Structure 1
C-alpha cells in the first residue's frame, strides 16, 4: 500500500475517508446553510418512514432531544412549510432524522413518502422547540406516546442510551396493532442495555399477528398504575394525536398529578381542524381599524434586517414578502413554530393555542397571527 511520506497515512484511506472524520466540524445553522441532503430513507413500518439528512459542508447538528425541524417544500408549485420532530439523537451530530407517518389525504406526508429519496435536497429551518427533557432534568421520567408521537421521546431515549446514562425511564407507547409499533426493536434493545429503562406497548387490537402477548386496549389509569406504580413521582412527557393527549390529561387529572411536571407536544397539523378561542395581546392599545391602515417598521435584532409591515398585515406575511426566512408551519397560531421574543413595540395577536399565557406574559408572540400596532423590534 502506498504511503504519503509527509503524513505516513495510507493514501487510499485519505481518499475514501469522509471529510468530517477526525476533525471538529462547524455547527450547522439554517441561517448559513439552508439546504440539507437526504442521505437515507428507512422504512420503519408499512406507513412510517425515517428520512436522514446531512449537511453538504459536513457541519454538525446541535439540538436538544425533542426539538423539531421545519421543512420548506415545493409541492404542486407552492411552497409548503411543515415541522417534524427530530427522531435522531444529538449524540450523533453528523446526521439528523425525522420520522413521518403517512396521513390519509395529508399533502405533505404523502409527498414525502412518495417523492423524497436519497440524494434529494431539502430546505430546512430550525431546530426549534422547548419540548425536551434537557430543560427538565429529573431522577425519573415517564414517556407516554401514541402513533408517530413516539419520535421526540425516541430522540430523548436514544440520547440517554448513547450517553450511557441509565436514567430511570418508563416508556409506554400506544399503537393500533403490534405491526404499527414504531421503533419496537430498538426500544427493546435499549431496554436490554439499560437496567432502569422499561418499555410497555399497548395495542388497540391484535391485527394480523397471532403471537402478540402484550396489552390490548387503551391506556387507562388502572393500567398506568400497574405499569408504573410510582408515576406520580415522575416527570411526564407526552406526545401523540390530540384525542390521546386529552385522554392522558384527563386520567392524570383524575389521579391528582401535579401539572407542573407534565409536558406535551403535538404537530399533527394535517388532521387538526379545531381551533382554540382567540386571545388578544395588548388589549389596551388601539386596534388597526381604529387607527386606520398604517405602515410600521419591523426590525430583526439578530439578523440585522428591517422590513415594512402594514397594520392590517401579519408580520410573518410581510417578512416572507421581503425575503426574510423565518421558521413557520401551520400559519394559524396553532403550532408555535414562529414564536419569538418581542423586544419592543406592541402587536395585536389572535392565536389558536400555539402559545401559553406565561409566554405571552414574558413578551413572546407568534408572528403568523400578529399585526403591528407600533414599530417593532423582534429578537430574531
Structure 2
C-alpha cells in the first residue's frame, strides 16, 4: 500500500484558534502562540493583523492585534500583547488566556507589509508593542536565507522593556543585513546601558541610519511617537511618499477626505433592515450602521471603530450608505457589496445581511 502525504489546508477564520503556549517577554508583555485545531497552516503577509473575540465578563470584546510571527513558519501563529493601564481585553488575556483555550478570530487583514512595497533597503522604526509587525517582517526576511538590508530602530522606556531584544540580536549575529539600534528613555538600576538614551530625534535618526533618505520607512507605535517620527523625517527632507505606518489608534482628522456632494443631515431619518435577524430600525443619517445595530440589539463584531481593522465588515444587499474608511476594506469587497458598519452612515432605506 502506497502512503500518500496529507493534503495541506490553510486556516480560515471559520475555525477557532487554540492557544498552545504563552511566553512572558517583558513587564506586562506576553506572546501567545496559537495553532489551528485541524492542523491547518497559516497564510498571511508579514505585518498583517487579526481580530480576536475575547470572552470578557459582560459580553464578547473584539480586539485587533498585529501578528508577531512570520508566515515562513506556518504551523503556528503568535501575537504579542502589552497590557496598558486601564486595558480590558489585553489584561483579560494576560490574566486568563491559557493553553488549551480556544478563541474565535477574524482575519488576517491589513496592508502594512514590506511585501506590498518593492525596495532594496528598509528602515523599521517602532516603539513599545509597535515592534510586533517589524518582528514579523524581519523574521520573514531572515528566513528567506538572503542578507536583507534593514536598519532597525526601536524605542522603549527602559532596556528591560525592549520586546524581542534577544531574538533580534541573535538574528543580527547570524547575517550581515540587520543593523539594530535601541533607544531608551532611562536605564535599569544596576545594569549599565551603552546604547542611545533619550527620545528619538533627528540626531539619533542620522546616527542610527545615516542613509535614511535611501530607505523605505515602516513605522509603528503610539500616535504621538509616529507623529514625532513623521515630523523628524519631513524636516530632514525625506520623501514622505515612502513612509508607511500602522496604528490602531484613532487617525488624525486629516487622514480622510469626505467626498464632495455628500451632506449628512441629523434631521433626516434612515431605515435599516437587518435581514437575517428580521429586525428593522430607524435612525438619523448621522448615526453609523454599527451604532444603530447596537441600539436595535443586533450584534455586529467590531474592533477599532474607525475603519482600519475590518472586523465590522457586513454585506449590504440594498440601499445606499456614506462610508469613509481608513483602509479596512478592499475595493473588491466594496464592489461585492460589503461595507464597514463602524464608518458607514445609512441614506434612506438600507438592507444588511445581518
- Normalised TM-score (structure 2): 0.84
Residue of structure 1 in register with 2:253 after alignment: 276
Deviation at 1:285, TM superposition (A): 4.9
SS in 2 for 1:346: strand
Deviations, residues 297-322 of structure 1 (Å, cap 9, x unaligned): 789xxxxx999675546334677879
**Does residue 88 of structure 2 align to residue 107 of structure 1?**
yes
Instruction: Pick one of 101, 106, 111 that aligns with 1:120.
Output: 101
Residue of structure 2 in register with 1:337 after alignment: 310
SS in 2 for 1:373: strand
Note if contact 1:307-1:318 (Cα within 8 Å) is conserved in structure 2: no
**Does residue 271 of structure 2 align to residue 294 of structure 1?**
yes
Does the C-alpha gap of structure 1 residues 212 and 280 become closer, same or farther in structure 2, counting only changes over 3 Å? closer
Does the C-alpha gap of structure 1 residues 24 and 181 become closer, same or farther in structure 2, counting only changes over 3 Å? farther
Residue of structure 2 in register with 1:302 after alignment: none
CA distance, structure 2, for counterparts of residue 366 and residue 314 of structure 1? 10
CA distance, structure 1, for counterparts of residue 244 and residue 130 of structure 2? 13
Deviation at 1:222, TM superposition (A): 1.4
CA distance, structure 2, for counterparts of residue 370 and residue 280 of structure 1? 14
Note if contact 2:307-2:340 (Cα within 8 Å) is conserved in structure 1: no
Does the C-alpha gap of structure 1 residues 183 and 90 become closer, same or farther in structure 2, counting only changes over 3 Å? same
Deviation at 1:291, TM superposition (A): 4.6
CA distance, structure 2, for counterparts of residue 102 and residue 40 of structure 1? 18
SS in 2 for 1:78: coil
Deviations, residues 152-192 of structure 1 (Å, cap 9, x unaligned): 00000010111113211110111111111111111011111
Deviation at 1:215, TM superposition (A): 1.3
Note if contact 1:169-1:197 (Cα within 8 Å) is conserved in structure 2: yes
SS in 2 for 1:226: helix
Unaligned runs of 5+ in 2: none
Deviation at 1:46, TM superposition (A): 2.4
Residue of structure 2 in register with 1:29 after alignment: 12
Deviations, residues 57-109 of structure 1 (Å, cap 9, x unaligned): 11111100001010111111211110000000001111101001121221111
SS in 2 for 1:119: coil
**Does residue 234 of structure 2 align to residue 253 of structure 1?**
yes
**Does residue 117 of structure 2 align to residue 143 of structure 1?**
no
Note if contact 1:309-1:372 (Cα within 8 Å) is conserved in structure 2: no
5 Å matches for 1:202-351? Answer: 202-267=183-248, 276=253, 281=258, 284-285=261-262, 287=264, 289=266, 291-295=268-272, 310=282, 312=284, 314-316=288-290, 328-331=302-305, 333=306, 335-338=308-311, 346-349=320-323
Residue of structure 2 in register with 1:13 after alignment: none
Deviation at 1:294, TM superposition (A): 2.7
- Normalised TM-score (structure 1): 0.79
Does the C-alpha gap of structure 1 residues 229 and 22 become closer, same or farther in structure 2, counting only changes over 3 Å? farther
5 Å matches for 1:15-26? Answer: 23-26=6-9
Unaligned runs of 5+ in 1: 1-5, 10-20, 300-304
Note if contact 1:309-1:315 (Cα within 8 Å) is conserved in structure 2: no
Note if contact 2:72-2:143 (Cα within 8 Å) is conserved in structure 1: yes
Does the C-alpha gap of structure 1 residues 346 and 209 become closer, same or farther in structure 2, counting only changes over 3 Å? farther
Deviations, residues 169-218 of structure 1 (Å, cap 9, x unaligned): 11011111111111111101111122111111111111224232111111
Does the C-alpha gap of structure 1 residues 257 and 309 become closer, same or farther in structure 2, counting only changes over 3 Å? farther
Does the C-alpha gap of structure 1 residues 298 and 204 become closer, same or farther in structure 2, counting only changes over 3 Å? farther
**Does residue 180 of structure 2 align to residue 199 of structure 1?**
yes
Residue of structure 2 in register with 1:372 after alignment: 346
Note if contact 1:65-1:86 (Cα within 8 Å) is conserved in structure 2: yes
SS in 2 for 1:75: coil
Note if contact 2:8-2:41 (Cα within 8 Å) is conserved in structure 1: yes
CA distance, structure 1, for counterparts of residue 211 and residue 123 of structure 2? 10
Note if contact 1:311-1:373 (Cα within 8 Å) is conserved in structure 2: no
CA distance, structure 2, for counterparts of residue 163 and residue 184 of structure 1? 21
